[in-house]
């Protein structure tokens, strides 16, 4: 039997010796006691018990992580965790249950937590977010192929990313048998609403691709294009639907297609509306638009083209006749157009 006090251990030095950036800013302080029982005639009978009274860690980025009293008991095959309550900034994660350490040892771990969106904003440039997300998950099976079930929820989120205001940001998702079902993810922006539903396989044993249904209703393209979220002379509410598929969580693995079902473009006295649905596609890192037809009292336009987000390359073909004043909002300053154009 061996008892070890945790506080005197040089854990901070060990953490700083590990490779990676910001090593000098890392720290790990633990108070508590570890107990080991090692039968001399049976090395496989090792049992350990760790009682942590306080834990404070800092990895050099953002706020540190702390935890109050918790215990870990077990042997070479499994460990039982009780009372773990991790806190980082405003986030909180509670964990308890059994963790399988051997290849054939089962895991039954319960995770519950709350994450304020202000913490997530640390990973998004130019983002200001408010609201709270909650998670209630259960991890079962073997660690090499865990089965995750439970739910995640976000209600009443709001904020801003770049110059775009976000309202009524929400999420309802359920995990079952290695698949996360997004029942409803939605946000109001630019005078309209964006919603996403679908399924995302998770875990190393998950099969099939990722499929999401995307819908935009009344999203004003003029507001999205305006500088710093100011008023735009272009009013262009858009309705769009589509399906997004991905074989892996990477941009080059994404394929999507759908239709623009409604679009009106208005600038003062000039107005054009979509004559019929127009198809759009995203594949191979390129977004393409086919046969977009707009018509109004001042003329008509027919457009198509492609845009590659990776390098910003844009190819656009436009034909038709309309009053040139329609293009005024696309240019900054006092530049103005008037008269018919073809």
pLDDT 10s digits, 77-115? 788 888 888 888 778 888 888 888 777 888 888 988 888
Predicted pLDDT at 333? 44
Backbone angles phi, psi at 167, to 5 degrees: -130, 155
Q: Is the pLDDT of residue 259 over 80?
A: yes
Distances from the Cα of 218 to the Cα of 158, 175, 176, 187, 193, angstroms: 19, 31, 33, 12, 7
DSSP-derived letter for residue 223 is H
pLDDT score at 342 = 46
Dihedral pair phi/psi, residue 200, rounded to 5°: -130, 110
∠266-159-229 over CA atoms, to 5°?
Answer: 30
The predicted model gives 301-315 an average pLDDT of 80
Task: For residue 235, list its beta bridge partners.
Answer: 266
Q: How far apart are CA 89 and CA 115, in angstroms?
A: 9
DSSP string, 104-130: T--EEEEEEEEEEHHHHGGGSTTEEEE
Which backbone phi and psi does 252 adopt, to 5 degrees?
-70, -15
DSSP H or E run through 49: strand 47-58
Instruction: Collapse the DSSP code of 59 into the 3-class scheme (helix H, G, I; strand E, B; otherwise coil) and give the result.
Output: coil
Q: 242 CB contacts (<8 Å, ≥6 apart)?
A: 213, 214, 215, 256, 257, 258, 259, 280
Residue 64 pLDDT class (50, 70, 90 cuts): confident
Residue 332: pLDDT band (50, 70, 90) is very low
Structure tokens, 287: 């977004």
Q: How far is Cα 94 from Cα 125, in angstroms, rounded to an integer?
A: 29
Q: For tokens 């191979």, name the residue.
A: 284
Is residue 66 within 8 Å of residue 53, measured between CB atoms?
no
Model pTM above 0.85 = no
Distance CA 89, CA 79 (A): 28
314 - beta bridge partners? 307
Structure tokens at 259: 């239709």
The single-letter DSSP state of residue 190 is T
Tokens of 134: 């909650």
Please check the confidence at residue 245 and state whether its pLDDT lies above 80. Answer: yes
* pLDDT cut 90: percent of the chain above it: 13
Instruction: Please give the average per-residue pLDDT across 55-75, as a whole number.
Output: 76
Distance CA 324, CA 272 (A): 12
- Residue 215 is predicted with a pLDDT of 94
Of 37-51, 155-169, 261-275, the range with the lowest mean pLDDT is 37-51
> Residue 289: how many CB atoms within 10 A of its CB?
17
Average pLDDT over residues 221-231: 68
Taking Cα atoms as reference points, which of 115, 69, 127, 70 lies closest to residue 88? 115
The single-letter DSSP state of residue 44 is G
Residues 322 and 77: their CA atoms lie apart, in Å, by: 75
Q: Which residue has the tokens 């005639």?
A: 41
Question: Which of the listed ranges 33-42, 95-104, 256-265 does the model predict with the highest average pLDDT?
Answer: 256-265
């Amino acid at each position: 039997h061996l008892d070890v006090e945790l506080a005197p251990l040089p854990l901070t030095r060990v953490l700083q010796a590990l490779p990676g950036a910001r090593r000098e800013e890392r720290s790990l302080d633990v108070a508590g006691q570890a107990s080991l029982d090692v039968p001399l005639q049976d090395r496989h009978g090792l049992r350990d018990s760790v009682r942590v009274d306080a834990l404070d860690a800092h990895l050099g980025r953002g706020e540190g992580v702390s935890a109050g009293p918790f215990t870990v008991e077990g042997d070479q095959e499994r460990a039982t965790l009780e009372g773990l309550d991790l806190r980082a900034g405003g986030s909180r994660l509670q964990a308890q249950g059994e963790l399988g350490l051997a290849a054939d040892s089962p895991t039954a771990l319960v995770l519950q937590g709350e994450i304020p969106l202000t913490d997530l904003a640390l990973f998004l440039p130019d983002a200001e977010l408010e609201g709270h997300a909650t998670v209630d998950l259960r991890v079962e099976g073997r660690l090499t192929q865990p089965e995750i079930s439970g739910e995640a929820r976000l209600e009443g989120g709001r904020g801003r990313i770049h110059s775009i205001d976000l309202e009524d940001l929400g999420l309802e998702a359920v995990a079952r048998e290695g698949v996360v079902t997004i029942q409803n993810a939605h946000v109001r922006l630019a005078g309209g609403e964006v919603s996403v539903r679908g399924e995302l396989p998770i875990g190393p044993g998950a099969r099939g691709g990722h499929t999401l249904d995307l819908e935009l209703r009344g999203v004003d393209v003029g507001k999205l294009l305006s500088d710093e979220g100011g008023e735009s002379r272009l009013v262009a509410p858009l309705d769009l639907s589509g399906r997004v598929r991905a074989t892996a969580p990477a941009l080059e693995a994404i394929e999507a297609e759908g239709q623009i079902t409604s679009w009106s473009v208005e600038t003062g006295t000039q107005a054009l509306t979509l004559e019929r649905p127009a198809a759009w596609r995203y594949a191979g890192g390129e977004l393409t638009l086919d046969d977009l037809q707009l018509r109004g009292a001042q003329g008509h336009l027919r457009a198509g083209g492609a845009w590659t987000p990776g390098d910003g390359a844009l190819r656009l073909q436009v034909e038709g006749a309309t009053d040139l004043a329609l293009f005024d909002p696309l240019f900054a300053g006092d530049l103005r157009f008037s008269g018919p154009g073809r």
